[in-house]
Amino acid sequence: MAAPLLLSTIILALVVVASSTHGTMANGVFQVRRKFHIVDGVYKGSDIGALQTHDENRHRRRNLMAAELPLGGFNIPYGTGLYYTDIGIGTPAVKYYVQLDTGSKAFWVNGISCKQCPHESDILRKLTFYDPRSSVSSKEVKCDDTICTSRPPCNMTLRCPYITGYADGGLTMGILFTDLLHYHQLYGNGQTQPTSTSVTFGCGLQQSGSLNNSAVAIDGIIGFGNSNQTALSQLAAAGKTKKIFSHCLDSTNGGGIFAIGEVVEPKVKTTPIVKNNEVYHLVNLKSINVAGTTLQLPANIFGTTKTKGTFIDSGSTLVYLPEIIYSELILAVFAKHPDITMGAMYNFQCFHFLGSVDDKFPKITFHFENDLTLDVYPYDYLLEYEVT
């Protein structure tokens, strides 16, 4: 019998966020990797459950903080399916592996004095801790510095604290430092050159909850959310780059390239970012087609407000739809397969199927503002699933 297939809509998208900054500025590039590796193209039960749990917790997350990157991996999400990259901090530069997250705004790494921090993980084996005493360019941020937005009891004689919390109980807290961030600058001839810029970030002194899980722990998180305090915003304010980023996914190995600055490729299609959310990057989804036929949905179902809309988040792997949209989508996808019997695994719908899903199931197309379309093929939303 064939392995069961897991129905899960997945979108792999290019994201571009721009602001009104002007002038000639260089681009930065980061290589991004997936946190986990898939085994022979098949998902394992524990990975799917962990992935959904992570996403559900993440969608309830709220920041409480007062105050070229190449990517590698696989194009199918598994485990908690997050992207990470390596950056350099300090003088001399020390390498850190940080999660790259477009759905949050804090930038922090584990500090040398961190309490209850894991020292190794299944991803990195040995974690790296920031030691300000080992960097000659390190500087503590004081409460009277303009970058410090911490509320009382912070006063001028104290170091500036930060705290970022998660709905699943994950919490990072510590103090802010300013130090050199090392990355690669991209020039017009396609060549890169190492460069560095002073940025402010959190030095984690205490982690708890999900951030203390040694199975998936990395050195920190660099957020690219909608905020003027992100690392990207700081680079733009310093005149080092434009406040634009793009995430180009590797369709073969996952990960890909995360670039900051500008999009050089002239054939890239874009859709505007809706600027009415304090953290998330929202876009205007207009309609969904299945096999060329538009789903019949209530008017304004895709309307964007401050409390709802379609947001793009590198830290959430699956695509989540309202029940009314999801139900219509399922009916359309399985319209030619009335004999298929669905079963439930980890709150996903599963079924047994023999044959090629690409030949027997339709393409789903998401239509965004500015006539931007995103095609999702059966191999993207029907995942082979291994029962253990």
Residue 295 tokens, joined: 């789903």
CA dist., res. 347 & res. 325, Å (int): 17
Residue 336 tokens, joined: 């030619």
What is the CA 225 to chain-centroid distance, rounded? 9
Residue 294 tokens, joined: 């538009």
Instruction: Name beta bridge partners: 83.
Output: 34
Helix residue ranges per DSSP H, the chain: 45-58, 231-237, 323-333, 357-360, 378-381
CA dist., res. 33 & res. 180, Å (int): 23
In what helix (H) or strand (E) does residue 377 lie, and over which residues does it extend?
none
Judge whether 122 counts as a catalytic residue. no
Single out the catalytic residue among 47, 86, 250, 313: 313
Q: CA angle, 254 as apex, 249 and 259 as ends, to 5°?
A: 35
Residue 284 tokens, joined: 């205007």
Single out the catalytic residue among 47, 101, 219, 250: 101
Is the separation of the CB atoms in 386 and 5 below 8 Å?
Answer: no
Judge whether 313 counts as a catalytic residue. yes
CA dist., res. 175 & res. 162, Å (int): 6
Is the separation of the CB atoms in 315 and 58 below 8 Å?
Answer: yes
CA dist., res. 257 & res. 183, Å (int): 13
How many C-beta neighbours within 10 Å does residue 258 have? 27
Is the separation of the CB atoms in 71 and 30 below 8 Å?
Answer: yes
Catalytic residues: 101, 313
